[in-house]
Amino acid sequence: MTQEKPSPDGPDHAALIASIAVNRDRAAFAALFAYFAPRVKAWMMRAGSNPTASEELAQETMLAVWQKARLFDPARAGASTWIFTIARNLRIDALRREHHPADLMPDPTDEDEGPLQADRVLSMSQQEVRIRAALSLLPPDQAEVIRKAFFEDKVHSEIEKDLGIPLGTVKSRLRLAMTRLRGMLGDLG
C-alpha cells in the first residue's frame, strides 16, 4: 500500500512545517508562504476585508505558522487545516477584538485523547485529501452553500438572499452536504 501525500500535486506541506520546527528552515517557510499566504489573503478578501487588511492578516497568519511550527501535530490535523484554524483565530482577533476560544484551550498535547495509533496518524494526514475528493463529488448546490458558509462568513439568512433560495433549503443543503462529507470520512474511524 502506498501512502498518499497530503497534497498529491504539490509539496508535502506537513514536512515543510516540520522542517521549520526542527531546523528553522527559511526555504521551507518561503515555499509554505508562496502557497498559503495568497490563499489566506484570498479568503480574507472574500470574507469582506479590504486588500490591505487581508494582506496584513495573511502576513500575521504566516508569522504564527513560523512561531508555532513546533506545536503542529500532523496526527491531529493536516497542514491546510492547521493553517485554516490559525487564520480563523487571527481574523476573529483582528476584526472583532475577540479571542476565539480555541486560543484559550489547553495545549492539545495535554488533552486526554489517549495514545495516538500509527494508523490514525496516517489517516489524519489523509483526511484533507479525502475531504477534497468528497467536496468535488458534492452536487454543485451543496458545495456552493458549504463554500459560502466557510469563506464568505455568511449567516444562513444571507446565503438565502444571495442564492435566492428559501432558508429551509439552505439549511437542508448544508445538512445534506455535511452528512455526505462525514459519510465519506466515516471509514477513518
Partner 1 sequence: MIQHHPTEQTLLAYATGSLPEALAIVTATHLAQCRLCRQALGTLEATGGAILDELAPVPLSGDALNRLLDRTDEPAPLPPPVLHPDLPAPLNRVALGRWWPVGIGVRYRPLQTAGAAWGGLILAQPGRSLPKHGHEGRELTCILSGSFADGHGHYQAGDLSEPLTDHDVPPMVTGGAPCLCIIASEGMRLRGLLGRVQRLIG
- Termini Cα distance of the chain: 19
What is each CA distance from 173 to 131, 147, 158, 165, in whole angstroms?
17, 12, 15, 11
Closer residue to partner 1, CB minimum distance, 64 or 121: 64
Binding residue for partner 1 (CB under 8 A) from 17, 82, 159, 160?
82
Residues 116-135 within binding reach of partner 1 (CB under 8 A): 127-128, 131-132, 135
Amino acid letter, 44: M
* Smallest distance from partner 1 to CB 75, Å: 11
* Smallest distance from partner 1 to CB 14, Å: 12
Please give the Cα distance from 102 to 106 (Å, whole number).
9
| Cα-to-chain-centroid distance, residue 84 | 3
* Smallest distance from partner 1 to CB 132, Å: 4
Closer residue to partner 1, CB minimum distance, 2 or 9: 9
Closer residue to partner 1, CB minimum distance, 164 or 189: 189
Binding residue for partner 1 (CB under 8 A) from 22, 23, 24, 161?
24
Any idea of the CA torsion for 8, 10, 15, 17, to the nearest 10 degrees?
Answer: -130
Residue 12 interacts with partner 1 (CB under 8 A): yes or no: no
Can you spell out the DSSP letters for 61-91? HHHHHHHHGGG--TTT--HHHHHHHHHHHHH
Closer residue to partner 1, CB minimum distance, 122 or 131: 131
Binding residue for partner 1 (CB under 8 A) from 21, 75, 163, 174?
174
Where does this chain touch partner 1 (CB under 8 A) — which range of 35-43, 115-123, 159-167? 35-43
Closer residue to partner 1, CB minimum distance, 1 or 131: 131
What is each CA distance from 70 to 7, 36, 67, in whole angstroms?
21, 18, 8
